[in-house]
């Protein structure tokens, strides 16, 4: 979702901002812009479309030492040049970029800005016009900024330029992520450390309702009441090569291929000195004490949560409910007496999940976050964190984070079982190792998957994924992957549910991808395949070794029955990838989507 960069120093400001924005492209956006300040005033360049389009209109001859930049994912107002950030106040003095949503912007407009001719449909413009208004009333910029922040309801990460303040960026944060990066004779601002890794790896986190006055050699963090805040910086543990595509044509393909390695890394990360799986004692205790677990997540992470429920109930024997965060927050079920909440979030910044976390913390409950992003909001605000160790996931469509979430959930379930005195009848470390090897075999099956994609999906307008038991959950993920990157309407269904309505959609040639990895439901899913085939569908069965039939399209290497999602999802990821390529879709940056969904 929207991304912010800012730079203040002596290097090539425009190029640093543009490169920073390119690094934020993965978050998803539909327009972009930069503003730089020099002795002639503030120069704004903005454009609908990609950073490459913005590069096309930027006047590279403008020399400046201070600047801010933004990628916009439209919320208020269509994607357009007018609505793109930066926004400037009516007087031209202030220029602002914003990430987040201002809930009371209509009210603020009515109360304070009826006389101002607004030029965009955005909530952001209200902020910059208010700052202008208060400064015209005689306030210093810092005071006008603070007064405005005090009036805003909602989420914001802000970077502001004042044409009259020499070499300063005014920054503020509430609920939306923002960092200040430190350099030698320069400082930067970024939504994500990745954006500015090119110039520094030293960052200071900002907390909600803080503002910062950044110059090239000072960073003054303050609370909104003006109290100074001191905070240590940290080194961003990111390797610049982790965020490059290398020889891969797309990040998604690179990230699919990284999955076996990530699984092995996770096992290592959670092994103690004697090679046994171990988690923080406090987490094991909280799990053991809970009478029910509530897994809360969105999208792909929700799908991983469904698999996690199977693991925890099977291994640790604790009842689990899995909920979509955006529903849970407004429609909370009756909670058990001793609940523990588990948030699964690759980015750790998803606003829907965070809204639930804030609510359950207010209710006094404990929470564990499973995330790929140490230091992210969901990690900081929960009581406990388990890391995914997956490395940066750049493609919008989540792949390696999904399998990493499943591996971590398996470890959480296995260790909790042990802590509760339940002996597993299999060796989880060994079985995860076998699964990682099988994942490797599947990553090498690209030609077969490309073939399946071109045979079944090259021209279809829809596609169904069916499965039973855990295969149903993986089917949901397969359908999400396919629809989000290829725009084919794809849905996942429980095999047994088809006859209760969905089968009406089956026409001649409708592709139905069926997963058969579970012995207990093998016969019944094959019955469902026959039902759709009898009505003209074009079934593509992917089964597990030992359960295969002659007509199956692809047979997966055998892994432990609980760990099949780690391998069965890979064909779905690859089929989706090749289907998107066939249809000439932008694989890494699908339309309308954002990587880090920081608005509710």
Interface positions with ligand F6R (CB under 6 A): 298-301, 345-347, 350, 353, 397-398, 480, 484, 597
Tokens of 399: 């792949």
Pick between residue 132 and residue 393 the one whose CB is nearest to ligand F6R: 393
Close Cβ partners of 527 (under 8 Å, ≥ 6 residues apart) = 495
Tokens of 29: 């956006």
**Shortest CB 72 distance to ligand F6R, Å:** 18
Pick between residue 297 and residue 312 the one whose CB is nearest to ligand F6R: 297
Pick between residue 370 and residue 515 the one whose CB is nearest to ligand F6R: 370
Question: Which residue spans within 398-503 are E strands per DSSP?
Answer: 462-467, 489-494
Residue nearest to ligand F6R (CB): 299
User: At 201, is the secondary structure helix, strand, or coil?
Assistant: coil
| Residue in the block written with tokens 């991808």 | 513
**Shortest CB 373 distance to ligand F6R, Å:** 8
Pick between residue 511 and residue 590 the one whose CB is nearest to ligand F6R: 590
> What CA dihedral angle connects 446, 452, 455 and 461, to 10 degrees?
-110
**Shortest CB 586 distance to ligand F6R, Å:** 14
| Residue in the block written with tokens 């730079």 | 7
**Shortest CB 75 distance to ligand F6R, Å:** 15
**Shortest CB 90 distance to ligand F6R, Å:** 37
Pick between residue 120 and residue 301 the one whose CB is nearest to ligand F6R: 301
| Backbone torsion region of residue 568, taken as left when φ is above 0, otherwise alpha when ψ lies between -120 and 50, otherwise beta | alpha
b/e for 154-193, b at 16 or more Cβ within 10 A?
bbbbbbbbbbebebbbbbbbbbbbbbbbbbeebbbbbbbb
Rounded Cα gap, residues 475 and 597, in angstroms: 23
> What CA dihedral angle connects 245, 442, 470 and 547, to 10 degrees?
170
**Shortest CB 355 distance to ligand F6R, Å:** 12
Query: Going by DSSP bridges, is the β-strand pair 3-8/31-38 parallel, antiparallel, or unpaired?
Result: unpaired
Q: C-alpha angle with apex 429: 389 to 562, nearest 5 degrees?
A: 90
Q: Tell which residue, 481, 174, 97, 160, has the closest CA to residue 351.
A: 174
Pick between residue 13 and residue 301 the one whose CB is nearest to ligand F6R: 301
**Shortest CB 301 distance to ligand F6R, Å:** 4
Pick between residue 113 and residue 575 the one whose CB is nearest to ligand F6R: 575
Report the DSSP beta bridge partners of residue 179: 190, 205
Q: C-alpha angle with apex 548: 513 to 407, nearest 5 degrees?
A: 70
Pick between residue 19 and residue 309 the one whose CB is nearest to ligand F6R: 309
b/e for 529-541, b at 16 or more Cβ within 10 A?
bebbbebebbbbb
Q: C-alpha angle with apex 260: 374 to 344, nearest 5 degrees?
A: 35
Helix axes 400-419, 428-443, angle to 10 degrees: 170
Indicate which residues carry an active-site annotation: 2, 595
**Shortest CB 349 distance to ligand F6R, Å:** 7
């Amino acid at each position: 979702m929207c991304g912010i960069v800012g730079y203040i120093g002596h290097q090539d400001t425009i190029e640093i901002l543009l490169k920073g924005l390119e690094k934020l492209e993965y978050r998803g956006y539909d327009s972009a812009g930069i503003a730089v300040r020099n002795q002639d005033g503030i120069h704004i360049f903005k454009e609908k479309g990609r950073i490459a389009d913005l590069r096309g209109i930027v006047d590279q001859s403008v020399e400046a030492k201070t600047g801010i930049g933004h990628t916009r994912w439209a919320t208020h107002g269509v994607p357009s040049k007018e609505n793109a950030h930066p926004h400037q106040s009516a007087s031209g003095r202030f220029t602002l970029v914003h990430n987040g949503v201002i809930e009371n912007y209509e009210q603020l407009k009515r109360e304070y800005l009826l006389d101002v001719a607004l030029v965009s449909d955005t909530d952001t413009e209200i902020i910059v016009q208010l700052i202008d208004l208060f400064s015209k009333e005689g306030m210093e910029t810092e005071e006008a900024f603070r007064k405005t922040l005090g009036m805003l309801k909602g989420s914001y990460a802000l970077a502001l330029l004042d044409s009259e303040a020499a070499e300063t960026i005014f920054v503020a944060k509430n609920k939306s992520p923002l960092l200040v990066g430190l350099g030698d004779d320069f400082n930067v601002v970024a939504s994500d450390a990745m954006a500015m890794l090119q110039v520094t790896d030293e960052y200071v986190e900002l907390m909600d309702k803080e503002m910062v006055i950044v110059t090239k050699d000072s960073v003054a963090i303050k609370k909104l009441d003006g109290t100074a805040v001191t905070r240590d910086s940290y080194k961003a543990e990111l390797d610049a090569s982790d965020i490059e595509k290398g020889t891969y044509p797309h990040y998604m393909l690179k990230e699919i291929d990284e999955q076996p390695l990530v699984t092995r890394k996770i096992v290592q990360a959670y092994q103690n000195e004697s090679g046994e799986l171990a988690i923080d004692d406090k987490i094991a205790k909280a799990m053991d004490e809970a009478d029910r677990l509530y897994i809360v997540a969105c999208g792909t992470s929700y799908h991983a949560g469904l698999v996690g429920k199977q693991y925890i109930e099977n291994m640790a024997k604790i009842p689990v409910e899995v909920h979509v965060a955006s529903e849970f927050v407004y429609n909370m079920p009756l909670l058990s007496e001793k609940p523990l909440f588990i948030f699964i979030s690759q980015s750790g910044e998803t606003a829907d999940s965070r809204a639930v976390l804030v609510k359950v913390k207010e209710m006094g409950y404990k929470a564990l976050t499973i995330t790929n992003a140490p230091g992210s909001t969901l990690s900081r605000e929960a009581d406990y964190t388990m890391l995914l160790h997956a490395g940066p996931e750049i493609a919008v469509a989540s792949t390696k984070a999904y399998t990493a979430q499943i591996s971590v959930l398996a470890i959480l379930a296995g260790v909790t079982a042990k802590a509760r005195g339940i002996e597993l009848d299999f060796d989880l470390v060994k079985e995860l190792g076998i699964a990682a090897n099988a994942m490797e075999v599947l990553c090498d099956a690209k030609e077969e998957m490309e073939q399946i994609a071109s045979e079944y999906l090259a021209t279809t307008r829809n596609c169904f994924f069916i499965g039973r038991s855990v295969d149903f959950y993986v089917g949901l993920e397969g359908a999400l992957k396919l629809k989000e990157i290829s725009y084919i309407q794809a849905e996942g269904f429980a095999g047994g549910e088809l006859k209760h309505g969905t089968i009406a959609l089956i026409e001649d040639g409708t592709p139905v991808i069926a997963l058969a990895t579970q012995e207990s439901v093998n016969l019944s899913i094959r019955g469902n395949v026959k039902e759709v085939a009898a009505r003209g569908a074009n079934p593509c069965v992917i089964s597990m070794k030992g359960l295969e039939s002659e007509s199956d399209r692809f047979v997966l290497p055998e892994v432990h029955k609980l760990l099949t999602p780690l391998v069965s999802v890979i064909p779905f990821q690859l089929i989706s990838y090749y289907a998107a390529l066939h249809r000439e879709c932008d694989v890494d940056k699908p339309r309308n989507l954002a990587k880090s969904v920081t608005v509710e």
